[in-house]
Amino acid sequence: MAIGDRVAELSAKLATQRAVIETEEATKNAFVMPFIGRVLGYDVFNPSEVIPEFTADLGTKKGEKIDYALVHGGAVQILIETKKITEPLRWEHASQLYRYFSVTNARVAILTNGQFWEFYTDLDEPNRMDAKPFLVLDLAAVDRTLLPELAKLTRESFDLDSVLNAAGELKYIGEIKRTLAAEFREPSEEWVRYLGVRVFSGKNFTRQVREQFAPLVEKAAHQFLTEQVNARLKTALGPDAALDATTPAEPQILAPTPPVPAQDVTPEATDVVTTEDELEGFRIVRAIVCSEVPASRIASRDAKTYFGILLDDNNRKPIARLWFNRSQRYLGVFDEDKNETRLPINDITDIYAHADQLRKTVAGYVRPAIPPASVPMG
């Protein structure tokens, strides 16, 4: 299984189990050990690969322990410190990692609470762990551009030199992306001024003008992202991205309804707009059903009134429909006869509550039905 599928599998597990995990030990069992074993490929029960409660003498300090040390090539290469998933990560949590970093061979240190994984090295000063991570992975919202770098830390593809060579660029790109994300969510005064003075036709960009521009910058940023995502998706899917443009328009129908067959693309179908919420819903469904099939087999087709999710890009194999273009949102699920039931949801993450049904639907497409036993003729 590719690393993207392994990460997606753990991401789906996180979504369904996070709410019931409260302690550090439960966090280790539910998310950290599976990450070490499933994602990074180390045998968590082999002490020559994974050393739990790793101890190294630190001058006068004796007996301090790091949660896990990963061994590759006979030497400790990666140190991992774990906090409970309910606790946001802070720099003080990395104090033991910081101290151990200089007295072991490890060049990579990881601080995690099961959801967030912060990867550190010594870019700023040799043998001294940096104060900021060079890579941050959020299992609740996986940035797939980071997966090739993560793959270099797996047991089967361990390439420390390549990781360290790319760490500087990754560190600053990551920080820039997080800064941009924060500005798009809530534009700062500096950001509003930076953009506003370039389009404002007046002489003075006063505080009153800035206050008028602040909501405009926020709205423009959201529209820009939506348009860029929609353009990228249409390029990736080709002209078939606008199929299924005719569907029942009544959003309150909750009884089973038959699936709508694919329609030919028409000029009128080209005004379909794919939203970020629809894409996030697609990613959630894909993460859920990748336990049944490779994630690469999950496809999408956007339409004017709903966002369709299909197996093998086959309209006869619908997995789900996202009815998000309305005040009350619905998740459309399918039974074995491909009848659709629309379930009301208040938040995108409510999709996880219907994970069993989604997996059952996909399993029905990939697992052949057992023929009934023949009855001998009398």
CA angle 236, 238, 244 (to 5 degrees): 115
For residues 267 and 352, state if they share a domain: yes
How many Cβ atoms are within 10 Å of 96's Cβ, its own excluded? 18
For residues 134 and 267, state if they share a domain: no
Q: Quick one: pLDDT at residue 215?
A: 84
pLDDT tens per residue across span 44-102: 999 999 999 988 665 555 667 889 999 998 999 999 999 999 988 888 787 778 888 87
* Mean pLDDT (whole number) for 363-372: 67
pLDDT tens per residue across span 17-31: 988 998 999 999 999
Higher pLDDT, 144 or 362: 362
CATH code, 79: 3.90.1570.30
For residues 177 and 275, state if they share a domain: no
For residues 42 and 132, state if they share a domain: yes
Structure tokens given for 288: 């859920």
Q: How many domains does the chain have?
A: 3
For residues 153 and 300, state if they share a domain: no
Q: Quick one: pLDDT at residue 37?
A: 95
For residues 205 and 250, state if they share a domain: no
For residues 33 and 112, state if they share a domain: yes
**What do you get for the CA distance between the two ends of the chain, in Å?**
51
Q: Quick one: pLDDT at residue 70?
A: 95
For residues 293 and 193, state if they share a domain: no
Asked if residue 236 belongs to a domain, the reply is no
pLDDT tens per residue across span 325-341: 878 889 999 988 888 89
* Mean pLDDT (whole number) for 7-16: 91
Q: Buried b vs exposed e over 12-34: b needs ≥16 C-beta within 10 Å?
A: bbbbeebeebeebeebbebbbbb
The Cα 213–Cα 230 span in angstroms is: 25
pLDDT tens per residue across span 82-97: 999 998 888 878 777 8
For residues 191 and 169, state if they share a domain: no
Q: Which of 199, 229, 259 is the last residue of a domain?
A: 229
- Containing domain of residue 220, as a range? 186-229
Asked if residue 314 belongs to a domain, the reply is yes
For residues 81 and 98, state if they share a domain: yes
For tokens 């919420």, name the residue: 277
For residues 163 and 55, state if they share a domain: yes
Identify the CA nearest to 70 among candidates 24, 118, 110: 110
Asked if residue 372 belongs to a domain, the reply is no
Beta strands, E only, the chain:
50-55, 65-72, 75-82, 108-112, 116-120, 135-138, 298-302, 307-311, 318-323, 329-334, 340-345
Asked if residue 378 belongs to a domain, the reply is no
Q: Quick one: pLDDT at residue 318?
A: 95
Q: Is the pLDDT of residue 216 over 70?
A: yes
pTM above 0.85, yes or no: no
Asked if residue 234 belongs to a domain, the reply is no
Q: How many residues does the chain have?
A: 378
Contact 136, 117 (CB under 8 A): yes
Q: Quick one: pLDDT at residue 83?
A: 93
Asked if residue 133 belongs to a domain, the reply is yes
Q: Is 68 helix (H, G, I), strand (E, B) or coil?
A: strand
Strand partners, 299: 310
Q: Which of 194, 229, 264 is the last residue of a domain?
A: 229
The arrangement of strands across the sheet holding 135-138 comes to 50-55, 65-72, 75-82, 108-112, 116-120, 135-138
Q: Is the pLDDT of residue 371 over 70?
A: no
For residues 155 and 124, state if they share a domain: yes
